[in-house]
C-alpha cells in the first residue's frame, strides 16, 4: 500500500508540474520575453542595415566629414554586424551594390514591414498549445505506464485549454455586442474566486 501511495503521489506531482509549466508558458507569452524567430523580411532588413552603415561610413570619409561623424559612422558599421550575425543571412539578398540601391523605395518599405513584424509577439494560446503538443510527443515516445497516462493527461489539458479559450472569447464577444448587459454579466461572474479572476485577467491580456 505504501508503494501504491507513493506512486500516486509522484504521479500527481508530475502532472501538477507539467500543468504549471503550460500555464507559465501561457502567461509569459504576454510579456516581452518570448519573440518569434527572425523571418526573411527581418533578415533582409538587418543585412541592408549593415550595407547602409557601410555606405554611410564610406560617404563620411570621402566627403571629408568631421572626425566625430566619421567615428560615429564607423562605429555604426561595426555595430550593425552584430545585427546581421544575430538575425542570420537572408535567403535572398536585396540589390544593394551602391548607396542609391540602398536608398530605393522598396528598401524603405522593407524597413517599415520589418518594424511591424518585429513588434509582434506569440499568441498565448499558441504557446500553450505548442507546449502541450511537445509534451504529448515526448511522453508518447517514452511510453510505459507513466508515459501513457501523462499523454492522456496532456490531451485532457489541451481540451480544457481550448474550452477555456472559447469561453473567454465568447464572453468578450458577448460584452462587446451587449454593452447594456455588462453590469449583469459582471455580477454573474462575481462568485469566481480571486485566483480564477486573476488567471482569466492575465490570459485575456496575454
Q: Quote the radius of gyration of the chain (alpha carbons, Å).
A: 26
At 101, is the pLDDT very low, low, confident or very high (cuts 50, 70, 90)?
A: very high
The H or E element that residue 205 is part of is none
pTM: 0.50
Q: How far apart (Å, rounded) are the C-alpha atoms in residues 39 and 20? A: 30
Residue 197 has pLDDT above 80, yes or no: no
168 in Cβ contact with 200 (< 8 Å): yes
> In the structure grid, which three cell numbers stand for residue 195, read together?
485566483
Max avg pLDDT among 20-24, 80-84, 201-205:
80-84
Q: What is the pLDDT of residue 3?
A: 44
Q: What is the pLDDT of residue 154?
A: 74
Distances (CA, A) of 93 to 9, 89, 118, 123: 57, 8, 19, 30
> In the structure grid, which three cell numbers stand for residue 126, read together?
499558441
> 60 or 1, which is more confident?
60
Residue 103 has pLDDT above 70, yes or no: yes
Name the DSSP class of 120. -
Residue 99 has pLDDT above 80, yes or no: yes
Q: What is the pLDDT of residue 153?
A: 76
At 149, is the pLDDT very low, low, confident or very high (cuts 50, 70, 90)?
A: confident
At 29, is the pLDDT very low, low, confident or very high (cuts 50, 70, 90)?
A: very low
Tell me the pLDDT tens digit for each residue of 71-98. Answer: 999 999 999 999 899 999 999 999 999 9
The pLDDT mean for the chain works out to 76
Residue 114 has pLDDT above 80, yes or no: yes
Q: How far apart (Å, rounded) are the C-alpha atoms in residues 8 and 166? A: 32
Mean pLDDT of 58-72: 95
> In the structure grid, which three cell numbers stand for residue 11, read together?
504521479
Name the DSSP class of 179. G
Tell me the pLDDT tens digit for each residue of 157-182. Answer: 777 667 766 777 777 777 777 777 76
Amino acid at each position: 500500500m505504501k508503494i501504491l501511495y507513493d506512486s500516486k503521489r509522484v504521479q500527481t506531482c508530475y502532472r501538477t508540474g507539467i500543468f504549471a509549466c503550460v500555464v507559465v508558458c501561457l502567461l509569459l507569452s504576454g510579456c516581452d520575453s518570448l519573440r518569434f524567430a527572425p523571418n526573411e523580411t527581418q533578415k533582409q532588413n538587418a543585412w541592408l542595415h549593415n550595407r547602409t552603415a557601410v555606405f554611410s561610413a564610406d560617404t563620411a570619409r570621402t566627403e571629408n566629414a568631421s572626425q566625430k561623424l566619421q567615428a560615429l559612422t564607423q562605429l555604426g558599421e561595426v555595430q550593425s554586424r552584430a545585427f546581421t550575425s544575430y538575425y542570420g543571412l537572408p535567403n535572398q539578398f536585396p540589390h544593394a551594390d551602391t548607396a542609391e540601391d540602398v536608398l530605393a523605395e522598396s528598401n524603405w518599405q522593407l524597413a517599415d514591414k520589418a518594424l511591424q513584424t518585429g513588434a509582434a509577439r506569440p499568441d498565448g494560446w499558441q504557446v500553450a498549445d505548442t507546449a502541450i503538443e511537445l509534451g504529448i510527443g515526448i511522453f508518447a515516445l517514452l511510453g510505459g505506464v507513466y508515459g501513457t497516462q501523462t499523454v492522456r493527461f496532456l490531451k485532457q489539458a489541451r481540451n480544457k485549454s481550448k474550452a477555456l479559450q472559447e469561453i473567454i472569447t465568447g464572453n468578450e464577444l458577448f460584452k462587446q455586442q451587449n454593452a447594456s448587459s455588462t453590469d449583469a454579466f459582471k455580477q454573474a461572474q462575481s462568485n469566481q474566486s480571486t485566483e480564477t479572476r486573476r488567471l482569466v485577467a492575465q490570459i485575456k491580456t496575454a
